[in-house]
Structure 1
């Protein structure tokens, strides 16, 4: 038996089958030749207008704890910022420097763990090291947002030094990341991530986008930030003449690290030592970099909007997902997963994100999406949320006809319940 819900506006919500517990009945009918599974998560774009009960059911079916109502059009981002207590914006240099010490000690300890781990425990050690490495990124991230220290020169130095082992040039990343904040969930403009368009797919040529589908339409998407890192941050042509001097300084820092640290590691530890102590933790860092980004900004019910339809308050508050991770992960990554207040105001330092989140929940919780990390959510993101659709937000790469790559994934990737 299938249950079907209808909102006050007459919009039918997706339903769940008794067999699998996942969405199988989209509001919009599947196109000819599209399998039921390929069309499984098509949902109405006006999810925020469904009743609370309908949104609660939909949240569970998609792997979320809650899905928010639509934020009223007359609410501005400034209104939301002003609702938070002033102390969440205050900088505490002691907490900022202690975070630096925490990440350095955690990274040193994880490298020691790698050195003493037998081969069969190395993946665990690498995963811990990659998580500790992510703490380096969060420190540089706060420095880039001017939420680390009251002195900008100190922030530039700290950001450059903590980004260097990640081979991230600080200034190019800062420029492009600020652009992401200014255009969050705006189609094409958002430099962090946006869905592929059908026009882009048409340009993939004879290969049919095989590589693109593999890396953006599978769990490999959880390492897609490596491509983003390479494409966006090393090409001087992507920056203005005014920006280039600072960009070149950041590139010099990164290349300086590579030309000194990498040869030294290979000389003293050998090629395997380089892989063991740097490359694998670096890949672990990119797992978190990609996972945090796609989970925060990709969800079947959260739309990407064209510029003329985009609303800053809705994009930053309702279009950013709060996701809980294990406490040890949140500790080593300095609470970067408490991400909604960071998008409401990037000036909030990491150590105030929890208090800021509590404030947002009190004042605006009815409009927020929250989740605990789970495979149902990840499965939808990796195998279904690919191509922009103005009616249903997303459709999978194989929206015309189910393809083997996606059929296999839909069959084998775990589909654990939300909670």
Structure 2
């Protein structure tokens, strides 16, 4: 057969993450300075506007709504800071570093520690047993060995409302603030902790001072709680839930060390969830388009849908695409309690007693 008329055979797909990256169009890696700046301005407004209103109102019906808006505002800034921490928001490494640090202040995240724990460990070993600490499952044997207090904590953290408690303890406290690594990361993490700690003390003190001037010691306590503490705690609940739905579901596998691969972790154990367009546009910046983000974290947030389309076209039987529903989430929190790594199966608590 003449080579000029021979049909072009499709390249065979393999379970190599580099092959997946090859199908992503080159322009999906192009950051946009204007889109990045617009997104940052939008996020800043959506965070600062509720705070300004909280500062001047004590209406009982308005405060919970403004708290929710402020918590979402913290989340919006954090998602963009997360993008910058991956080096994906702007071309400049220095700009990304600065933006990541500033955007993570309201969420009280130590950027250097986040860079190590999230960017390198979670992304490097996604859903690998003993490595990925984000929502790492507990086996029936491990649950049986727990004391009553640990079991109660596990039941809380893996419940419908427990995602914030899990994230606060495991990710925010143990793997970031309490974490003290050796080697070359030690100095950067300690510096960021000291600087961020000082900034938070100053912000709390400023809010307390304004409160004291306005209404005495009661307002000196109330204003920092109203403006800083409660929005932070609501953010923790939001981000804990967000991470949960990315990597925990009855059809999402976690892998024993001997079976895990980059392809399995990034392609088979992450999801793409379609979300209400306005909510995604205002606060979440395509963070639920999670498969391409795990395939290559250098892809900017505004290019994730195009990258997802290209990956899904070439790997239609691998990529999980679902519409988010509260029902699916509650089903997951009922089903996904313990895990059998050998069988690749989520189990109920009753499995620990059988």
Interval of TM-score (by shorter of Structure 1 and Structure 2): 0.7 to 0.9
Paired residues for 1:258-277 under 5 Å: 258-269=200-211, 270-277=220-227
Structure 1 SS opposite 2:302: helix
Instruction: Find the counterpart in structure 2 of residue 166 from structure 1.
Output: 107
Change (3 A) 1:217 1:146: same
Instruction: Find the counterpart in structure 2 of residue 109 from structure 1.
Output: 49
**Following the alignment from structure 2 to structure 1, what is the Cα–Cα distance between the partners of residues 205 and 350?**
45
Structure 1 SS opposite 2:241: helix
Unaligned runs of 5+ in 2: 1-11, 212-219
Unaligned runs of 5+ in 1: 1-71, 403-419
Q: How does the TM-score come out when normalised to structure 1? A: 0.74
Instruction: Find the counterpart in structure 2 of residue 91 from structure 1.
Output: 31
Residue-by-residue CA offset, 1:144-184 (whole Å, 9 max, x unaligned): 11112222222222211111221110000110002100111
**Following the alignment from structure 1 to structure 2, what is the Cα–Cα distance between the partners of residues 146 and 392?**
34
Instruction: Find the counterpart in structure 1 of residue 265 from structure 2.
Output: 315
CA contact 2:141–2:352 (8 Å) conserved in 1: no
Instruction: Find the counterpart in structure 1 of residue 172 from structure 2.
Output: 229
Instruction: Find the counterpart in structure 1 of residue 96 from structure 2.
Output: 155
Residue-by-residue CA offset, 1:357-399 (whole Å, 9 max, x unaligned): 2222222233221222222211122222121113251112233
Paired residues for 1:67-86 under 5 Å: 74-86=14-26
CA contact 1:169–1:253 (8 Å) conserved in 2: no
How many residue pairs were aligned?
330
**Following the alignment from structure 1 to structure 2, what is the Cα–Cα distance between the partners of residues 112 and 223?**
28
CA contact 1:236–1:244 (8 Å) conserved in 2: no
CA contact 1:172–1:247 (8 Å) conserved in 2: yes
Higher helix share: 2
Residue-by-residue CA offset, 1:240-277 (whole Å, 9 max, x unaligned): 22111111121122111112001111221322222222
CA contact 1:335–1:350 (8 Å) conserved in 2: yes
**Following the alignment from structure 1 to structure 2, what is the Cα–Cα distance between the partners of residues 184 and 345?**
13
**Following the alignment from structure 1 to structure 2, what is the Cα–Cα distance between the partners of residues 362 and 319?**
18
Is 1:254 aligned to residue 196 of structure 2?
A: yes
**Following the alignment from structure 1 to structure 2, what is the Cα–Cα distance between the partners of residues 236 and 185?**
21
Residue-by-residue CA offset, 1:88-123 (whole Å, 9 max, x unaligned): 001212222222111111112222343447312432
Instruction: Find the counterpart in structure 1 of residue 66 from structure 2.
Output: 125
Paired residues for 1:327-406 under 5 Å: 327-331=277-281, 332-389=283-340, 390-391=342-343, 393-400=345-352
Q: What is the Cα deviation at residue 206 of structure 1?
A: 4.6
CA contact 1:217–1:384 (8 Å) conserved in 2: no
**Following the alignment from structure 1 to structure 2, what is the Cα–Cα distance between the partners of residues 154 and 396?**
46
**Following the alignment from structure 1 to structure 2, what is the Cα–Cα distance between the partners of residues 207 and 256?**
34
Is 1:214 aligned to residue 156 of structure 2?
A: yes
CA contact 2:338–2:347 (8 Å) conserved in 1: yes
RMSD: 2.1
Instruction: Find the counterpart in structure 2 of residue 141 from structure 1.
Output: 82
Is 1:303 aligned to residue 276 of structure 2?
A: no
